[in-house]
Structures are given as C-alpha cells and as structure tokens.
Amino acid sequence: MPRFFSCLHQAGSNSTVAKTSPLEFIRQVRTETSKVTWPTRRETIMTGVMVVIMTTILALFFFGVDSILQAIVTALLKLAQ
C-alpha cells in the first residue's frame, strides 16, 4: 500500500464518530432552529427590494463598461483596415 494511503488508513482507524439516531438528529435540528432569529416580513421585503436595486445598478454599470470597451475595440479594428 502506498505511504499516503497507509497514513489515511491509520488516521481513520483511530477516529471515532458520534452516532445519533434519526429521531435524536431531528430533535437537535428543532432545538437549533428555535434559536434562530428569523427576519420579520418587512425586513424580508426590504432586503428583496435592495437586492433588486443593487442588481439593476450593477447591470447598468457593466452595460456601460461593456459599451465603452466595445467602442474602443471597434475603433482599433477600423484603424487596422
């Protein structure tokens, strides 16, 4: 067995993994979910509006940069003819 794989095998044999039952897992998930501070309806709507605004601003910015670069490339190609 190559040395790399023998190191992995040795490391894996000494480690222990905590095993939980599916019911215990679901119980833990419910406990952790109850600790989450969920956003209000207003906060969710405001966040969605901000995402739409920022996406629009970025789209316009990249459209402008792309248009400028296209004009530069077109001008350079006309000079080459």
pLDDT tens-place string over residues 12-51: 555 567 788 999 999 999 999 999 999 999 999 999 999 9
pLDDT of residue 29: 93
pTM above 0.75? no
Structure confidence at residue 20 (pLDDT) = 85
**CA–CA distance from 36 to each of 43, 57, 80 (Å)?**
15, 32, 62
The residues spanned by each domain of the chain are 41-80
Q: H helices then E strands: how many in the chain? A: 3, 0
- Check if the beta carbon of residue 1 is closer than 8 Å to that of residue 9: yes
Question: Is the model's pLDDT at 6 over the cut of 70?
Answer: no
